[in-house]
Chain A
């Protein structure tokens, strides 16, 4: 089936190295998410796996076979693009049928598979429309239909939800996760949104400037970030970083505390501060608290807490959930 292995994969455009020698193993049936800020090389990495870019050196193995020199058409992968990349001159039916037509399947079999894919994605009523007559969500479904119809070794998703509005994004996120459970096919999903990464992934690959910062399950990365970058990138709101005497007192250069690991009280507490902005979300309240020698800290408190601008509060960090980093930003364990 579809395991994917990268061996010392390196990519340079001229003198500019975008990806320096990466090793990565994605197991068959796994949902892997490449996440990182824009320009971190996650899309380039996906395009290298797809074969849309040539690797400068290294090898890409799909299902144990070396595919480094194969053109994209012969790697047995399907891809969903950020722009959907539907064929504008073809109907939905012809769009979904295109990979099968390229594989020279008999017409009756193509029609049966297109119908099945359309049923899975609720597109049966739209088969004769052109892409321009569809909404964004429907176009996205057609793109997914085109990808699933020929049962590939693995699916590649390149930021597929970033053109959708927030509500639709949540819904499509669920649909893709359900699709993964139903098909059991390997999926690689590229996003800059750590919420998508956390909610969908079996395995998250955090990338920064072409380097893999850490690979692990969502909760691994949340509980045990290897370095400052991962600690700051995973989790919302962001982890608080504290330097100076307080950190030094705990034998580290930087001390990291997640907003949900600080308790607020109206008096007492280990640290004190005043509330700047209180963001009430209903279920939670995010408090931005100015302190004298720790800077501004974000604290996640209960939804019903009634604190507002200017209130003085006491703060107590959960000592079991502190993250310590050395002066190079690496975690101390």
Chain B
């Protein structure tokens, strides 16, 4: 029998949920609103919420000063590129670890995860020097490579967890039915793992899009993605809140829209296998 939930209680829960949602969304909303103010209004006290002279001048100014679309295309190249290369490496790796585990598979997985615990600054100098010697500084290829490397452990871990949920009997049945390794992965494993692969893809694009440490340190102008773009507007003494807000809005908008449309897939993927 379904549990009876009173209308009052439902109202209460709804209101609380909206309040928490708004609280979490508020900084983004405030940034968005500020981006339409003049610099003067942006720092006015008390701040005006909706009733001010709306203007697009910040967006025009930001695009004129620092070419949003070049940064945007760099971000797309780097985040999609690193994720796709990561998946190509990680699907076979996760398959091997999930279905043909060896004595040291668990150790290997823990070791990979442990690299994520290490502070990135610790390897900044060697990596910087390697990149310098290989001519990869400030190149989109270089940034794609470094982001592939730093996100690979997470991609492999996520895929490994999803693959573990797939009953090995079904893969064995495919083998008995005459499927070779390639057909087994193509016709049986991949279709069954689609929700997991999709959510890994989405999550990793978001992670790569937001990655700031390596992109800031290893790029200057040519390959600079949106993280550098935002950073160039934050200065300790400048009072360019409105322009910073416009730049931030432009930088997070694409990923916000992607996340919005794929949230169902994301949630399904992240809870995949949690409930049998």
Contact = CB atoms under 8 A, between A and B. Distances in A.
18 contacts: A50-B176, A71-B180, A73-B175, A73-B176, A73-B177, A73-B180, A79-B172, A79-B173, A79-B176, A81-B169, A81-B173, A85-B169, A86-B173, A87-B170, A88-B192, A89-B192, A103-B178, A146-B177
Interface string A51-93: 1100000000000000000011110011101110111110000
A85 B178 contact: no
B167 interface: yes
B183 interface: yes
A98 interface: yes
Contacts of A108: none
A102 interface: yes
> When A and B form their complex, which 3 residue pairs have the shortest distance between CB atoms, in order from nearest?
A102-B178, A85-B169, A85-B173
B192 A72 contact: no
Contact of B177 (A82, A98, A156): A98
Contacts of A317: none
B24 to A, nearest CB: 36
Interface in A88-140: 88-89, 98-99, 102-103
Interface residues of B, number: 17
A89 B189 CA distance: 10
Contacts of B169: 81-83, 85
Contacts of A156: 176
A102 B179 contact: yes
A71 B175 contact: yes
B191 interface: yes
A72 B172 CA distance: 9
Secondary structure at chain B's binding surface: helix, strand, loop or mixed? helix
A79 B170 CA distance: 11
A88 B195 CA distance: 14
Interface residues of A, number: 25
A269 to B, nearest CB: 54
Nearest to B178: A102
Nearest to B194: A89
A79 B173 CA distance: 7
A71 B188 CA distance: 18
B271 to A, nearest CB: 18
Given A89-B192, A102-B183, A72 B167 contact: no
Contacts of A85: 167, 169-170, 172-173
B131 to A, nearest CB: 43
Nearest to A79: B176
Contacts of B177: 73, 78, 98-99, 102, 146
Contact of A78 (B172, B176, B180, B188): B176
Contacts of A88: 170, 192
Contacts of B180: 71, 73
Interface string B160-184: 0000000101101111111110010
Given A81-B169, A83-B169, A85-B169, A72 B175 contact: yes
Contacts of B167: 83, 85
A102 B186 CA distance: 12
Contact of A52 (B172, B179, B183, B192): B172
A264 B170 CA distance: 53
A157 to B, nearest CB: 12
Contact of B178 (A73, A82, A86, A87): A73
Contacts of A51: 175
Given A72-B172, A146-B177, 19 more contacts: A51-B175, A52-B175, A71-B180, A73-B176, A73-B178, A73-B179, A74-B178, A77-B176, A78-B176, A78-B177, A83-B167, A85-B167, A86-B170, A87-B170, A87-B188, A98-B174, A102-B178, A103-B178, A150-B178
A122 B58 CA distance: 71
B54 to A, nearest CB: 50
B188 to A, nearest CB: 6
B140 to A, nearest CB: 37
